[in-house]
Structure 1
């Protein structure tokens, strides 16, 4: 059986071994019977009042919340996808190890069988007995040495066979565990995908119900709010004395990120035609030969944190208290980022959203 067939059989073995493992009703108070009257005529039923129409500001707040939830779900999806890729790679590696172990055990068994057949051809006598029966002293001494070497080789082969069997059992257990993790991550991905699509569909439905003039006002409100937040951030002195230059790798990351301006946001995308927020930043730093975590939450968790006043171009600004958004600082108080569905990669004020903190990929 060649190596490819062994690997295929091993993967099949792994898959076979993996074991994928009433509200209380509220009761309404009884409605009292009306007292009987002789003169009162029955009153006409009142028409239900129409729900009050939401203001444009309330609609915008609801849409923003939906997209924020979609962004958080996107981060969960991206993390599950990254873990799935890692587990898939581990399963392939373990399957190859299992195949190699099986081939090695087969080889050792073949060698053991060859020795048994050799002993049979010698009349069934063990090598020690054959030496005693030899009448030639030189042949006897030479045979003793060969006998000792053969004993050592046999003991070594037996030990290696036992170790190979133990390793094979360990590899199989590890592969089964990784397969279970892989399936769990696939479930997480499916849940996150469902949540993302639901949030985006609801937000788009709300937008579709607005008139063109309302949509234009909604966009202007978004710009005005971002501008107000940016002005307040700049007025706070956050950028005072910040005039640091980017590192060599930071310049490469900035150049990559800014070259993507105008490409659409697509959740889960990491180029080359579209990006989500962390897909853009992770690919920009990959282009600078500095791989970083895929998601904004993992970027916040794993990368070195720095103070805002120490920022330089190429650093990543993490937004919102759940670290669900990220942009790359490019200098002069601006970031490049992929905002949300329905928007393109663009430049924006670094202070236009709620800043959680800053991280540096090349520290």
Structure 2
């Protein structure tokens, strides 16, 4: 059995498991209620759910803001790389143009020296003093050709100088944009660190049992959102078949399950949300934009009921998160710092829309 077929079977098994867990509206990911000890001490030491719910909402906000900043960082990084490459190409053009200009100047100088050797006499005077009028006339024809060539040299020199001036202007413009994007990247990086640090600090204040209860509340909220999405009847309308490239992208995403989230990462050992989706489609032979916002802006939009495995679901009104639909109401995504690439319900987060990389 080939590697590709084994990979697709693995995907199929994963999706079957997903359907088993996700497709049944009455099935929860985990028991959302705390387990009380025989003495009831666990329940007594936990704060009220509304307090932990406030913590959960605060963490969601902090990690969401970090995701937005991560998108800004990735966009600035992508622009920086593009502008750096453009500056290198402009530098090559400037070097080549300067060499061309030097050659033209040398040729023009040679023509000027040749004219000087004739004494600079006007053609009539040269004819009068010539011992061989026929030779003079032949030479006059060559002089005329030389004059035309000289005009051509001057014109080419002028154009080359204008090109060099434009290259220098373009390079200066790219440098300014490069510096602006470096500043934008640094600002986004600072925001990411600040938001993640605040989230980690908030979580560090919780005791072990509080963290367990918080995790249960997160699962409960995700389960409720997924159940509501499935109860809408949407899944019965979603029956699209994956394209060949879609199958390859799903296979790649499935192989990354369990790898840690890391902002700005594109693999192979860690990913952020759009790093995972962009790499999956690049491996499938269809490069797509790096960030979730650009994926939403540039890729073809399709209706949710028309989506098929390999399509990308964009989440939140600001397009700050992206996941890959793998079938059966399930997605694979890199959720946030502290989590790993995982299988989840497609309706666990607010869906902005769906895009198709290989439309």
- When normalised by structure 1's length, the TM-score is 0.82
> Helix, strand or coil: the match of 1:106?
helix
Cα-to-partner distance string for 1:145-194 (whole Å, 9 max, x where unaligned) = 32222111111100000111111111111111111011011111111111
**1:78 aligned partner:** 74
Aligned to 1:355: 351
- Residue 139 of structure 1, CA deviation: 2.5
Corresponding residue to 1:254 among 233, 242, 250: 250
Partner of 1:230: 226
Matched with 1:269 is 265
2:87 maps to 91
Higher helix share: 2
Cα offset for 1:56? 1.0
SS of equivalent residue, structure 1 residue 165:
helix
State the Cα deviation string for residues 130-153 of structure 1 (Å, max 9, x = none).
566444354234323322221111
**Map of 2:169 onto structure 1:** 173
1:324-358 CA-partner distances (Å, limit 9, x unpaired)? 00000011111110000000001110111110000
With CA pairs under 8 Å and 6+ residues apart, which has the higher RCO, 1 or 2? Answer: 2
CA deviation map 1:72-126 (0-9, x unaligned): 0101111111111111111111111111111111111111111222233444447
Query: Tell me, what secondary structure is at the counterpart of 2:352?
Result: strand
Report the Cα distance in structure 2 between the residues aligned to 1:132 and 1:240, rounded to whole angstroms. 103
Residue from 106, 111, 114 that aligns with 1:110: 106
Root-mean-square deviation over aligned CA pairs? 1.8
Provide closer, same or farther for how the CA distance between residues 356 and 128 of structure 1 changes in structure 2, counting only shifts above 3 A. farther
Q: Matched residues in 1 for 2:163 and 2:260: separation?
A: 49
Q: 1:167 to 1:223 in 2, by over 3 A?
A: same
Residue deviations 1:266-306, cap 9 Å, x none? 00111111110000101111111111111000110111101
Provide the rounded CA distance (Å) in 1 between the counterparts of 2:283 and 2:148.
55
Unaligned stretches of 5+ residues in structure 1: 1-51
When the two structures are aligned, how many residues end up with a matched partner?
A: 312
